[in-house]
């Protein structure tokens, strides 16, 4: 902006200089013209005065030349001008400066020609005789004394030239002073005009550089002030719009980041435009690394990339499921829709939803229904078969009939236990079971549990024992705890050979975060569990030894119920087993339960 200020200053100075020079030339011309006009008027009056007072003589007399020459010199001394007497024919008969006999004929002189026509003639020309510029004024004079010609007065313009020179000198000094003043004033004027524009320009550049807090500090009322207000209003509008855009972007980004489903956007060129956090976790990639790259670089998910390619190529909605490995298998549902704007294709938007748990639950539900149907079918079929035999009268022996009735009774009991366990498991899994916590003295608790199972153990000559610290108590639901340990101890007795041992051990423990816990270990010397079956023993209806489980009256739901009840107490259960040596179930339960507020 400073070069513009300098240019503007020069322009203003040039305008002032041109104006001053023009004014000076005009004034000089006016001064010269007015001065010459005044001289002409004075000289005209003097000629008229001479024509009325001068004592003329006959121009043709022998003494005429000497008379008029002498009188010319006398009058010239009085008027400070050159006097010339000229006849009508242009012959000089008297002159105050030169000998008339040596002078040329003046009939063709401008002033005489004008005087002949108008009475008074004027002319300005350079005089070779006097070597300077002269003003000539001639008047036609006719006298009764024999003079008929012209009286001419001439005067040098040296005085006029000197006056003009002094005027130009004074004007030059004034011009220099005026130029200095004009320079200062022009710079101030230019500054007053360009300084606000510089401020506005700086603010506009800051706004261009995305500094929307920049404002023009100006309170002027003129057009520049209105421009400043317009710039400030524009900045306010841009700032408000940017805030709205940023708020919307933050909201949209927050929505994308907190979505449980993965969002993947592929543009029309087949490049990733957006991958949200859920999709990053699902595909094990980074948005920053994949954005701008082709979807074909998703090489470790070949099936998924092929499905994306199909959607991009066809530009049609797709709804498919694919398995991905990161490294465990995960089932992902992919829903893709084409994006269009103003009739042009902009790419594809894909929604990725992990349905692994849903499909696993569906599979578990299907297996559960199949297992329940199978488990219910067995006792029902037995009851129906033996009942039909009895009703048909095919059994006459009372002992055999009683044995059939006993089987019917046992199968009915088994059916009742199965239905009860199914209902119990259903309640636990649906979170409808609430803990009724109270202090539980573990020594007294296990005395009661072991006493209940002692007769079953005695039949198989199995030794039941417990190692529990005195006065150890914990907070929990005593009924649920009894159900847990009755299941575990019953299983231990059932799967332990005659003469074996079943033992309960209780000890204090601490989690890494410092939470106090109680560690329970239920161990036996039974047949053990094969390693391949360990991950599945807590599944519903899963049996390691199916034949023995059925003969023992088990429903296959006991360990599943145990696991859910342990988790309801915010605890964990694990199992360790050696085939042919025995198994140990290890439970870790909090010493104190957290109560929901």
CA distance linking residue 416 with residue 487, whole number of Å? 17
Give the pLDDT band (50/70/90) at residue 427.
low
**DSSP output for 264-297:** EEEETTSBEEEE-HHHHHHHT--HHHHTTSBGGG
SS3 of the chain: helix, strand, coil, percent, to 5: 55, 20, 25
In this prediction, residue 549 carries a pLDDT of: 46
Q: What is the mean pLDDT of the chain?
A: 78
Structural domain contains residue 483:
yes
Q: Which residue has the higher pLDDT, 443 or 157?
A: 443
What is the mean predicted confidence (pLDDT) over 479-508? 88
Which residues, at least 6 apart from 2, have a Cβ–Cβ distance to it below 8 Å?
Answer: none
Query: Strand, coil or helix: what is 91?
Result: coil
Q: Report whether pLDDT(507) > 80.
A: yes
Among 135, 163, 191, residue at a domain's last position: 163
CA distance linking residue 100 with residue 93, whole number of Å? 6
Asked if 390 and 479 sit in the same domain, the reply is no
Query: Strand, coil or helix: what is 243?
Result: helix
CA distance linking residue 65 with residue 399, whole number of Å? 201
Structural domain contains residue 185:
no
Give the pLDDT band (50/70/90) at residue 26.
confident
Question: Long-range pairs for 408-416 at CB < 8 Å and ≥24 separation?
Answer: 408/382, 408/383, 410/553, 411/379, 411/382, 411/383, 412/379, 412/383, 413/553, 414/379, 414/553, 414/555, 415/376, 415/379, 415/380, 415/383
What is the mean predicted confidence (pLDDT) over 403-427? 69
Q: Report whether pLDDT(354) > 60.
A: yes
In this prediction, residue 428 carries a pLDDT of: 62
Asked if 459 and 320 sit in the same domain, the reply is no
Asked if 497 and 419 sit in the same domain, the reply is no
Please report where in the chains the tokens 């003969």 appear, as a residue. 551
CA distance linking residue 225 with residue 518, whole number of Å? 80
In this prediction, residue 548 carries a pLDDT of: 45
CA distance linking residue 200 with residue 206, whole number of Å? 10
Structural domain contains residue 482:
yes
What is the mean predicted confidence (pLDDT) over 556-569? 80
Nearest residue to 138 via CA among 52, 33, 50, 32: 50
Q: CATH number for the domain including 553?
A: 3.30.565.10
Half-sphere exposure of 97 (CA within 13 A, CB side): 16
Q: Using an 8 Å Cβ cutoff, are 95 and 106 in contact?
A: no
Structural domain contains residue 408:
yes
In this prediction, residue 217 carries a pLDDT of: 76
Asked if 467 and 563 sit in the same domain, the reply is yes
Q: What is the pLDDT of residues 222-243, one digit of tens each?
A: 777 777 778 778 878 888 888 8
CA distances (Å), origin 100, targets 3, 79, 80, 127, 142? 70, 20, 19, 16, 20
Asked if 270 and 151 sit in the same domain, the reply is no
Q: CATH number for the domain including 380?
A: 1.10.287.130
Q: What is the pLDDT of residues 230-276, one digit of tens each?
A: 877 887 888 888 888 888 888 887 887 788 788 888 888 888 888 88
Q: CATH number for the domain including 283?
A: 3.30.450.20
Among 428, 447, 464, residue at a domain's last position: 428
Q: Which letter does DSSP use for residue 543 in this model?
A: -
Q: Report whether pLDDT(4) > 60.
A: no
Asked if 138 and 9 sit in the same domain, the reply is yes
Structural domain contains residue 205:
no
CA distance linking residue 154 with residue 84, whole number of Å? 8
Lowest mean per-residue pLDDT among 32-41, 109-118, 162-171, 331-340? 162-171
Q: What is the pLDDT of residues 164-208, one digit of tens each?
A: 677 667 777 877 777 677 777 766 666 666 677 777 777 777 777
Q: Using an 8 Å Cβ cutoff, are 97 and 129 in contact?
A: yes
Among 134, 163, 192, residue at a domain's last position: 163
Structural domain contains residue 187:
no
Asked if 149 and 73 sit in the same domain, the reply is yes
Which residues, at least 6 apart from 506, have a Cβ–Cβ distance to it below 8 Å?
Answer: 442, 446, 466, 467, 468, 469, 472, 518, 519, 520, 521
Asked if 350 and 296 sit in the same domain, the reply is yes
Asked if 348 and 363 sit in the same domain, the reply is no
Structural domain contains residue 508:
yes
Q: Using an 8 Å Cβ cutoff, are 196 and 220 in contact?
A: yes
Give the pLDDT band (50/70/90) at residue 523.
very high
Whether the ω angle into residue 327 lies within 30 degrees of 0, i.e. cis, is yes
Q: Report whether pLDDT(370) > 70.
A: no
Q: Using an 8 Å Cβ cutoff, are 492 and 467 in contact?
A: no
As separate numbers, helices (DSSP H) first and strands (DSSP E) second, the chain gives: 14, 17
Asked if 453 and 529 sit in the same domain, the reply is yes
Asked if 415 and 489 sit in the same domain, the reply is no
- Orientation of helix 398-429 relative to helix 558-568, angle to 10°: 30
Phi, psi values for residue 314, rounded to 5°: -85, -25
Q: Report whether pLDDT(1) > 50.
A: no
Lowest mean per-residue pLDDT among 71-85, 146-160, 190-204, 369-383? 369-383
Phi, psi values for residue 226, rounded to 5°: -65, -40
What is the mean predicted confidence (pLDDT) over 527-535? 82
Phi, psi values for residue 327, rounded to 5°: -85, -15
Sign of CA dihedral 266, 269, 272, 273: negative
Asked if 333 and 394 sit in the same domain, the reply is no
Give the pLDDT band (50/70/90) at residue 159.
low
Nearest residue to 86 via CA among 12, 4, 152, 142: 152
Question: What domain range is 334 assigned to?
Answer: 261-354
In this prediction, residue 520 carries a pLDDT of: 93
Structural domain contains residue 146:
yes
In this prediction, residue 42 carries a pLDDT of: 81
Q: Provide the domain count of the chain.
A: 4
């Amino acid at each position: 902006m400073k070069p513009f200020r300098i240019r503007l200053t020069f322009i203003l100075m040039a305008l002032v200089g041109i104006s001053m020079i023009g004014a000076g030339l005009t004034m000089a011309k006016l001064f010269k013209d007015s001065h010459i006009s005044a001289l002409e008027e004075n000289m005209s009056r003097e000629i008229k005065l001479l024509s009325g007072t001068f004592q003329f003589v006959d121009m043709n007399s022998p003494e005429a030349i000497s008379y008029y020459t002498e009188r010319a010199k006398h009058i010239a001394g009085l008027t400070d001008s050159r006097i010339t007497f000229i006849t009508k024919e242009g012959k000089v008969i008297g002159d105050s400066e030169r000998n008339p006999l040596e002078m040329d004929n003046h009939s063709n002189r401008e002033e005489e020609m004008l005087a002949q026509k108008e009475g008074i003639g004027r002319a300005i020309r350079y005089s070779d005789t006097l070597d300077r510029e002269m003003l000539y004024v001639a008047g036609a004079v006719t006298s009764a004394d024999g003079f008929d010609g012209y009286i001419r007065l001439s005067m040098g313009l040296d005085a006029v030239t000197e006056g003009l020179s002094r005027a130009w000198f004074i004007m030059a000094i004034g011009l220099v002073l005026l130029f200095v003043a004009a320079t200062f004033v022009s710079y101030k004027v230019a500054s007053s005009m360009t300084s606000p524009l510089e401020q506005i320009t700086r603010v506009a550049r800051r706004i261009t550089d995305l500094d929307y807090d920049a404002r023009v500090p100006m309170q002027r009322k003129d057009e520049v002030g209105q421009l400043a207000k317009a710039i400030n209003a524009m900045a306010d509008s841009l700032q408000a719009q940017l805030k709205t855009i940023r708020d919307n972007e933050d909201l949209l980004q927050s929505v994308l980041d907190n979505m449980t489903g993965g969002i993947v956007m592929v543009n029309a060129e087949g490049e990733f435009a957006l991958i949200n956090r859920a999709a990053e976790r699902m595909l094990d990639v980074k948005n920053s690394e994949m954005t701008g790259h082709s979807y074909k670089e998703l090489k470790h998910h070949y099936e998924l990339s092929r499905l994306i390619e199909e959607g991009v190529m066809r530009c049609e909605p797709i709804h498919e499921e694919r398995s991905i490995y990161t490294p465990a298998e995960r089932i992902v549902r992919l829903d893709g829709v084409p994006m269009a704007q103003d009739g042009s294709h902009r790419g594809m938007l894909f929604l990725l939803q992990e349905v692994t748990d849903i499909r696993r639950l569906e599979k578990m539900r299907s297996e559960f229904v199949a297992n329940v149907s199978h488990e219910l079918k067995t006792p029902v079929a037995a009851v129906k078969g033996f009942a039909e035999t009895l009703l048909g009268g095919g059994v006459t022996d009372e002992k055999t009939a009683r044995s059939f009735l006993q089987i019917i009774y046992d199968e009915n009991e088994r059916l009742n236990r199965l239905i009860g366990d199914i209902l119990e498991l259903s309640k636990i899994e649906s979170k409808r079971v609430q803990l009724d916590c109270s202090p539980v003295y573990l020594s007294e608790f296990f005395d009661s549990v072991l006493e209940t199972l002692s007769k079953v153990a005695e039949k198989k000559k199995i030794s039941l024992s417990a190692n529990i610290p005195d006065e150890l108590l914990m907070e929990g639901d005593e009924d649920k705890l009894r159900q847990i340990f009755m299941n575990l101890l019953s299983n231990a007795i059932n799967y332990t050979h005659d003469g074996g041992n079943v033992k309960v051990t209780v000890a204090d423990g601490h989690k890494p975060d410092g939470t106090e816990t109680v560690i329970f270990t239920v161990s036996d010397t039974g047949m053990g569990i094969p390693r391949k079956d360990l991950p599945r023993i807590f599944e519903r209806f899963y049996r390691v030894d199916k034949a023995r489980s059925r003969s023992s009256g088990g429903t296959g739901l006991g360990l599943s119920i145990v696991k859910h009840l342990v988790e309801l107490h915010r605890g964990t259960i694990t199992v360790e087993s050696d085939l042919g040596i025995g198994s140990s179930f290890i439970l870790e339960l909090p010493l104190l339960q957290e109560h929901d507020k």
